[in-house]
Structure formats: structure tokens, C-alpha cells
Structure 1
Amino acid sequence: MKDAAQQDILSIQHLDLDPYSRPAEPADCYSLILVQTGEGYGAVNGNPFAYRAGDLFLIGIREAYQFQVTQPTTGYWLSFSPAFVNTLLPTDRPGWTCLDPAAWRSREAVTTDATERANLGALIAILLSEERSRRPLTGNPVVEGVMKTLFSLVDRLVAQRGVAAPVQPTFSSDITRRVIAYISQHISEPQRLRIDTIADEFNYSPGHLRALFRQQVGDSMQQFIIRHKLKLVALKLRHTSLTIAQIADEFGFADVCHLNKQFKRQYNHTPTFYRQGLSA
């Protein structure tokens, strides 16, 4: 039996998230998400980014992801397998750049303007119309034409953004991806980020899990957690008016002094100075 990556799969679902919900896990597929309303934070393979209405981003095959919703979020979630993408491509044509996870390594969502949102919305409306009419989404010339146009449009948006970001590691180990997803999900719960607690969650010995994680990621689990927290702190400083004390409390730092010390080690500035520099 073929696995999901070898099957022609295309699905579209309406995304409706609140702080307590999580979108369904896709199969071995790419996922392209268009945010219509709301805002919050996402993390893919532990690399966090802020999102808001009109943003567009990609989740690669088997990438660990998590959302932290700050305002109820709606949008559309397109999932499609590599086999489906291959049916759209002539043998002599290179693939779409937007489907290469390396193009999204900065993990900043692509922000669209009103015209681009309208164009994307019109394409998605056709897909939804085909689905509501109970027509198959695969082997459907109308859908194939829409998806080719959609990928080409997203390609252009990614190119316009000029994504020349440093390549982040990908993780071949399923357990590593699951651990990263767990860390992202519980990043504001220090008691659940203890090494022994994480090891128990995945039925590993702490020593074995530590060694496996370091081998796959290149950092110790504790270093990864701290860096992940600090990236989220930086996002909060940029996109919210929360006080430093509130941010320190949210992410489980002992106090502001503890956060200041860790943040300065990573960013060479205190959180206060970092925020002031953003408004300068």
C-alpha cells in the first residue's frame, strides 16, 4: 500500500483556532496556510514567528509545528502530497520554489496586500466550490489549473520577499520532531520542560534522549529550550506592549533579572534596550 507521500492527496479545510485548539495533523503532506483573521505565534521545528491576518506560510512534510493563538484565528489550510504536486509538473519543468522548505527557513510568514489576498481568496473559492459540488479534487483539470496558478502566485510572493535566510537544520528523527513539537506546545510551562519529564513523556531514559537530541539538533535540550524561549521573548517585545516582568513570568523566568541575563547573552542587549531600539 502506498504511503501518503506517494498518493495524490489534496485537501482544504477551514481553519478556526482559539487558544485551546490545535489544527488536525496532516498526513505526509505539505501544508500551506492562509490566515484571514486573528494573530498569534507559530513555530516550525522550534523556529518561532509571528503571524497576523493576511499572512501566508508553509509547513513542510513531517515538520514539527505549533501555534500559540493570541486572537481567535481563521483562515484556510491546504494540504497536498508530493505525488499530487508531481502530477502538475511536466517532466522538463523544475518544481515551484515555494515548496522548498529552504525558502521558508527564516520562518517569517509572507505578508500579503489586499490585492494579493483577493487573488488567493478567489483561487481558494474555486477549490471550495469544486469540493462542495462533490467533484474530486484530484484528477480534476479545473483544480489542477487553480493549483498551478496558486503555486506560481506564492512563488512570486516568496521571491518578492527576498528570502535569503540561513538554513536551519532539518530533523530526520521522528522522536526529535515530536520532542520539538512538545517543547513548543509547553514552552510556557517550566515544570513540563524538565528533562526527566520530557523523557517520561516519550518513554526514553533522560540520558538517551539527551544524547539523541544533541546528535540531531546540535544543541543540548536545555540550550534549545532557552533559545526557543528567547526567540519568543523577542517576538513579544516587537509585537506586544507587555511589560518585561509580564513576559518573564509568561515564559517561566525566575524574575526580570534572570530574563535580562539570558536575553543579553543571546542578543547583546537587555530586553528594555532591545525594545527601545525597535522604536528608534
Structure 2
Amino acid sequence: MKRENLHQPFEITLSEVDDTNLKEHDHTFFELVYILTGTGIQWINNHKFPYHDGHLFLITPGDIHSFEIHTRTTFIYIKFNDIYIHSAVLGDDNIQRLEFILQHANHQPGCILRNTTDKLLVKPMIEAIIREYQNKHIYSTEIITQLINTIIIVVARNVAMFLPERLNDNSTDLVLNILQYIQSNICFPEKIKAKEICRHFGISPNYLGKYFKKQTNETMQQYILNYKMKMVESRLLHSDMRINEIVEELGFTDESHLNRLFKKYKDVSPTEFRKINKLL
């Protein structure tokens, strides 16, 4: 498998592909992939998601991914690394939080934009980046940089939907590591039991419960359930996975178990939720 590297803070590439599938690879940097035209399948970390024009994917360092082309597809790739993030005018505190948010994006495959408003916001910015990149007028680099910064912030906002809503600004590295551990092992129920998390981090069950609630303003079980529900929502909106496949992937007892929990979360069953949103 090929591994790509980036030798400058950011890089923009336009590419049109007919019927040649883009081979599986990973890289050491972040990559935004915007679909200008075309349809096909995105494969990432052994999951597949149909794509079409207007979809935006965020590939994080180490993600194994490829594209299966169904109709001629025009991609724009925006590649950037940690050096670029630190060079952006965001402030030290914002940079630290932004890095944490982006590193968690590999747990939400599919189109990273979760609502129509953000899709409408990003599209003209992508088009402006292409114009500036192709025409190379005076200050084009500066304009492109500002547009990329804005897109990254929009992406971070969408990724942050999967984090605790009230995560404290002064949260310590431990709770961030616990969150990352839970998200990385969300498909393995045994690994996200309190006993196993305590063993992994060398802390007591009593301390874990109080500490997690203090840092996130919700219990660990509430967080795990809410995160799973957001994962289910993402699968329903951005993949063609069947309900039984989602049940198996995320460790629910059976379809009725998922239906019951999801109705509490969205007031409709997973099947109804998918049908409603396909009509929008």
C-alpha cells in the first residue's frame, strides 16, 4: 500500500478521473476531498459510502482509503499538515482544540458536512479556491489561505457534533485520551466497559465516573450512547448500510434494541429517519 507525504504546509490539486479506481493508500497529513462532479464509492477504513457532487470528505493521517469511480469524477484535493494548522491565525487555545477535533474525524466516515446550510456555505468557497488557484492573480495565495482556514473551521464544527456538547475548555489530556479511546473502540463493547477503561488508563472505577462527569457534564454511559446514536445517524444519512449491518457494527443486541434507543433519540425509527431525509 502506498503512503503519501506532504512537503509543504498545504497543497491544492484538481483531478478528473474516468473509470480508473483510485488505489488504496494512506498519508501523513490531513486531506479535504471535495466532489465537484461524478458518482462512485468512497472506501475508508473498511467502510464504504456512496458519493456524488457536493460531498466533502476529511481524510485524517493514517486513514486507509480509496475511491471506486462509477461516473467521471472531478476531485479537488486540499492537503494540509500540522504546520499549516499552527500557522493559521486562530490563537493557541483554538489551535489545540482544533487539532483535537480534526484528529477525531476518522471516526465519522462519509460526507463530513452534516447539514444543507454548511454544504451551501462550502460550495462557493471551493469554487473561489479553484478560480484563484487557476488564475493566480495578485494576493491569490492569501485569499486561498483564508478560504481554506474558513473551510477547516466549518469542518471542525461538523466533527464537533460528535464530541460532548459541554466539554470544558480546561479539560485535561486524560479526558481527551479517554474520549479518543472510546471513539476508537466504539465497535467493541467489551473494550468500552468501565472496568476495561479503568484498566487501560490505570484509574479506579469510582474516580473514572466522577472525573468523566466533571469534565464533560454527562456520565460516561450517556456519552457512549449519545455517540453511538450519532454514529447510527451518520450511517443512515451517508451510507447504504442495512439496519442489521449497523446493529452488528455498533454492537446492539438486535434491530429492536436499536429501534427502541433510536426512537428515544429522534422520535422515529431508523428506517423512517432514512426515508424522511432522503426526501429532503
CA distance in 2, matches of 1:160, 1:202: 33
Q: 1:223 to 1:196 in 2, by over 3 A?
A: same
Shift of 1:80: 3.3
Secondary structure (helix, strand or coil) at the match of 1:179 reads: helix
Quote the offset at 1:17 in angstroms.
Answer: 11
Correspondence for 2:79 among 48, 72, 76: 76
Kindly tell me the number of residue pairs found equivalent between the two proteins. 218
- Change in Cα spacing, 1:12 to 1:83, as seen in structure 2 (3 Å) is closer
For 2:32, what is the secondary structure of its paired residue?
Answer: strand
Match of 1:185 in 2: 184
Identical counterparts, % of pairs: 19
Partner of 2:33: 35
Query: How far apart, in 2, do the equivalents of 1:269 and 1:68 lie?
Result: 33
Aligned to 1:153: 147
Contact 1:39 1:69 (C-alpha < 8 Å) held by counterparts:
no
Q: What is the CA–CA distance in structure 1 between the aligned matches of 2:143 and 2:150, rounded to whole Å?
A: 11
1:233 equivalent in alignment to 2:232: yes
Provide the residue aligned with 1:138 in structure 2: none
State the SS of the aligned residue for 1:228: helix
| Cα separation, partners in 2 of 1:160 and 1:18, compared to 1, 3 Å | closer
Structure 1 unmatched ranges of 5 or more: 1-9, 27-31, 43-49, 59-64, 87-93, 127-141
Alpha-carbon contact 1:12-1:79 (below 8 Å) kept: no
Instruction: Compute the displacement of 1:84 (Å).
Output: 3.5
**Superposition TM-score, scaled by structure 2 size:** 0.57
Aligned to 2:129: 119
Structure 2 residue runs without a partner (length 5+): 1-7, 13-21, 36-40, 69-76, 106-111
SS at match of 2:234: helix
1:270 Cα deviation (Å)? Answer: 1.0
The aligned runs of 1:84-103 (5 Å cut-off) are 84-85=87-88
Q: Where in structure 2 are the equivalents of 1:128-207 lying within 5 Å?
A: 148-154=142-148, 168-171=165-168, 172-207=171-206
RMSD: 4.9
Deviations 1:91-115 (Å, cap 9, x if unpaired)?
xxx98xx9796xx99x954655498
Offset of residue 199 of structure 1: 1.2
Does the alignment pair 1:219 with 2:222? no
8 A contact 2:10–2:78 mirrored in 1: no
2:56 corresponds in structure 1 to 55
Q: How many angstroms apart in 2 are the aligned matches of 1:75 and 1:154?
A: 8
SS at match of 1:35: strand
Displacement of 1:248 in angstroms is 0.8
Indicate whether 1:274 and 2:273 are aligned: yes
Q: Secondary structure at the match of 2:211?
A: helix
Deviation at 1:187, TM superposition (A): 1.0
Over 3 Å counting, the alpha-carbon distance change for 1:228 and 1:41 in structure 2 is farther
Please give the secondary structure, in 1, of the residue aligned with 2:240. coil
Separation in 2 of the partners of 1:81 and 1:240?
Answer: 31
CA contact (8 A) 1:236 1:242 kept: yes
In the alignment, which residue of structure 1 is the partner of 2:243? Answer: 244
Q: TM-score, normalised by structure 1?
A: 0.57
